[in-house]
Structure 1
Amino acid sequence: MIADFFKRLTAAEDQPLTETDARLALAALLVRAARTDGHYAPSEIERIDRILTTRYALSPEAAKALRKEAEEAEAAAPDTVRFTRDIKEAVPYEERTAVIEALWQVVLIDGERADQENALLRVTASLLGVSDIDSNAARKRVEASL
């Protein structure tokens, strides 16, 4: 399934993401955010599972399975562009800002903000077409809720 996912992401022809692909792409972005500082903390894993459970109305087991698949996809992907390109085209702006907010939740849950995490969020927001102002507002909302 991972191979098929990457074939669709890298195909010369435009092949829109399926709902399953979009879920996997978001989950992989969350995993990438969690792993960026070199420490994949249990609190980050729990937050990813909670985000996937809530966003997609999944059971805890289904969210964990999606995260496991996303861990493989994230490890195999050389860059973040593969996960953001089609999401940007398929998802309305408001939902893309919600994606940035979810990424901030993962980054901030461990109580630390590494430079690599800040850089990843800046790049990801840009690739998703989310303004710096909206990304900063999303971060502040997350900080206020933690």
Structure 2
Amino acid sequence: MTLIERLKSYAADAFGLAAPEVADPAEDEALAAIALLVHVARADGTLAAPEAERLARLVEGRYARSRPEADALIARATAFDAETRDMAELVERMGHDADRPERLRLLAMAWSVASADGAVHEFEEALVWRLGGLLGLGEDEIVRARSGPAPIG
């Protein structure tokens, strides 16, 4: 439970209000991870068709059982991304339980989304490098995630 959720729960108890719904932590973490991918895909202000397709395939392969489910998750993640201040907040929402292989997998997915249109532009590169740092990964791991295969599935 995040700090905000705990404060809302405390306020509900203190003032006799209905307790707020608490999100499933695993779902919240997945939504935050997808929102990070959306953030990278929209780094230049638009979501180009190749980026949208790559994003959908990655989400379907990792977080959803079907394309319609992936599309619904991406829509929710897009709204979630719009509600947050920056990537650091999204990384925080992922929680601290994501193990190193999961963080590396997410970064490889981010590189894959950034390169979906055939090139990684300077702003996208800086954004993905920043994400790697926020995920607690070293320079060598960030480089390795970039050159690794696009993790679909």
Q: Is the 8 A contact 1:88 1:129 kept in 2?
A: no
Task: Give the aligned CA root-mean-square deviation in angstroms.
Answer: 2.3
| Larger Rg, first or second structure (1 or 2) | 2
Distance in 1 of aligned mates of 2:93 and 2:78? 19
Structure showing the higher helix proportion among its residues:
1
Stretches of structure 1 that go unaligned for 5 or more consecutive residues are: 1-7
Matched, 1:51 2:58: yes
Distance in 1 of aligned mates of 2:89 and 2:58? 21
Shift of 1:17: 6.8
**1:63-99 deviations in Å (ceiling 9; x for gaps):** 0000011111112211111111243611100110000
Shift of 1:140: 1.1
Runs of 4+ with deviation above 6 angstroms: 14-17
Distance in 2 of aligned mates of 1:70 and 1:16? 14
Q: Which of 104, 108, 116 in structure 2 is aligned with 1:101?
A: 108
Q: Which of 4, 9, 20 in structure 2 is aligned with 1:11?
A: 4
Q: What corresponds to 1:135 in structure 2?
A: 142
Number of corresponding residues: 136
Q: Which of 30, 33, 45 in structure 2 is aligned with 1:26?
A: 33
Q: What corresponds to 1:3 in structure 2?
A: none
Distance in 2 of aligned mates of 1:96 and 1:25? 12
Shift of 1:131: 1.2
Shift of 1:11: 2.1
Distance in 1 of aligned mates of 2:122 and 2:36? 17
Q: Which of 59, 64, 73 in structure 1 is aligned with 2:71?
A: 64
Distance in 1 of aligned mates of 2:144 and 2:54? 20
Distance in 2 of aligned mates of 1:9 and 1:65? 24
In the superposition, the TM-score normalised over structure 1's length comes to 0.83
Q: Is the 8 A contact 2:30 2:94 kept in 1?
A: no
Counterpart amino acid of residue 33 in structure 1: V
Q: Which of 85, 97, 108 in structure 2 is aligned with 1:90?
A: 97
Counterpart amino acid of residue 94 in structure 1: P
Q: Is the 8 A contact 1:85 1:128 kept in 2?
A: no
Distance in 1 of aligned mates of 2:130 and 2:95? 13
